[in-house]
Amino acid sequence: MSADALRALWEQALQDSTTEQVRWRALDCLRVGVMEMVRSARDPRWRNVARALSAGDGDAKVSGLERSTDTTSAIVANSLLMHAFNREDSYRVAAHPGLVVVPTALALQRADDAAQLLKAVAVGYAIAGGLTDGLTPRASEAGWRLAALTAPVTAASVAAVVLDLDDDDAVSALRTAAACMGGDIRSLAGDDWRLQPGLFALAGVYAARAASGGGVRGSVGALESMAAKVLGEPWEPAHHDPIPAIMRVTFKQYAAPMFAQAIIAALEGAGDIDEPVYKVVVHVAPFAAGYATDGAGRQLGVASIPDLVSAAIAEPPTRRRVPPEAVVVHPAAELTSLQARLELHMAGGRVLQLEGNGDSSGWSSGDIAKRCRSWAQAECPSLVEAFDSTSSPAAAVALLLDAWKATVVSTVTEGASAWPAPGSTERSTPHPSSR
């Protein structure tokens, strides 16, 4: 990359957004985002929070609700809904571009311009991916949360496309947004992690609006300067990966962090266990084992592997009670962050060996549409047709938007169900750690 990392990143994002393969993947990300926002709107708690966030007047849709609001309120409300049950998409495990890209694109979109919407989504994922590639894993290790850290620049790129900024104005918006980067990883210890990415996205939206027509000019080198401060050391952008970032996005099957997908999949593979389990040893990649730890080395809140395992093993099919303190986590350098090995130590002396893999990057557009339709048939029939097969991504986006805008859901007393398992129409309850 050149000395001006953001200009190079913008130019590459525009280039990546032009291929048909990327446009189909942008559709996939929109479908998953819409599905998760509407699902979460069925939960009384998150529906009420979304309603409180959308008190302003405007024409921007709040997913599942009967009202519309102003664009910035809609971005925050929809981002919260997409994140509420920890089922959003993921990039390099710890980043979640969809939480910013999808709500921003939907709130700012112009009617009847599906091509522009797909371009905005593709560019947003490219920018988020490029930033994440240059910041991972050091930013997480330094105590920053990637989903929030990359949000201002990502949102600025999406807004720049939808607002038709020229290249100079767009890059200026990215520079202004880069000076607003932040986000403490400690938010994972409470509930505010759900809200954090949407709040940081607003800085990017306003940066794009301010840059329009040669308005506010951002400083050259803003990203390099901010990244060095975030990491506490000089920063260089990552080398460009020829595979567009959006093609490396992964999707969740379970309501849990991306690195925990393999753990829960492994436990599901154990089947029914007919004797007590007194200890569980979990082998995961070093990044997963050390993610979001406090000063004492304990993982925070929703990122805690012992808590995740204790909750998951209590669910069908295993139905065993194992307290978090009986879960031992070992970093294993030979594993990727989407793999896990588990050892279940039984009271009778037997040790059950389990393996899981949470890599869903190979899911096709057909796979994702099928999963979305399966959920809609069970819980939100008005959205079933939104996931029908079409001849082009633009035609599919038109179907999706029409159904999404018309959908108003009723609340349920429990959270929405998890995605159906591969090859199955059955649904499991949300993972308790996400509540």
pLDDT in tens, 180-192: 999 999 999 999 9
Beta sheet of 351-357, edge-to-edge order: 327-331, 277-284, 339-346, 351-357
Q: How much helix, strand and coil, in percent to the nearest 5, is found in the chain?
A: 55, 10, 35
DSSP assignment letter at 38: H
pLDDT tens per residue across span 349-378: 999 999 999 999 999 999 999 999 999 999
Query: Considering 325, 357, 389, which residue would you say is the last residue of a domain?
Result: 357
Of 301-315, 333-347, 407-421, least confident by mean pLDDT is 407-421
In a domain, 344, yes or no: yes
- Inform me whether the pLDDT recorded for 281 exceeds 80: yes
Domain-embedded: residue 324: yes
Q: Which CATH number fits the domain that encloses residue 190?
A: 1.10.4100.10
Per-residue model confidence (pLDDT) at position 3: 60
What pLDDT score does 318 carry?
87
pLDDT in tens, 85-98: 999 999 999 999 99
User: How confident is residue 4, by pLDDT bands cut at 50, 70 and 90?
Assistant: confident
Q: Are residue 15 and residue 70 in the same domain, yes or no?
A: yes
**Could you tell me the pLDDT band of residue 418, with boundaries at 50, 70 and 90?**
very low
- How many Å apart are CA 136 and CA 338, to the nearest integer? 15
How many domains does the chain divide into? Answer: 2
Instruction: Please tell me whether residues 196 and 299 are part of one structural domain.
Output: no
Which residues lie closer than 8 Å to 368 by C-beta, 6 or more apart? Answer: 28, 31, 32, 251
- Considering the domain architecture, whether residues 270 and 223 belong to the same structural domain is answered as no
Q: 107 is in which domain, residue-wise?
A: 5-248
Cα separation, 30 vs 88, whole angstroms: 11
Average pLDDT value for residue range 278-301? 95
Confidence of residue 274 (pLDDT cuts 50, 70, 90): confident
List, for residues 205-263, the tens digit of each pLDDT value. 999 999 999 999 999 999 999 999 999 999 888 888 999 999 999 999 999 999 999 99
87 and 50 together in one domain: yes
The last residue of a domain, from among 330, 357, 384: 357
Query: Residue 422: its pLDDT value, please?
Result: 34
Average pLDDT, the chain: 92
How far does CA 83 lie from the centroid of its chain? 7
One domain for residues 227 and 123: yes
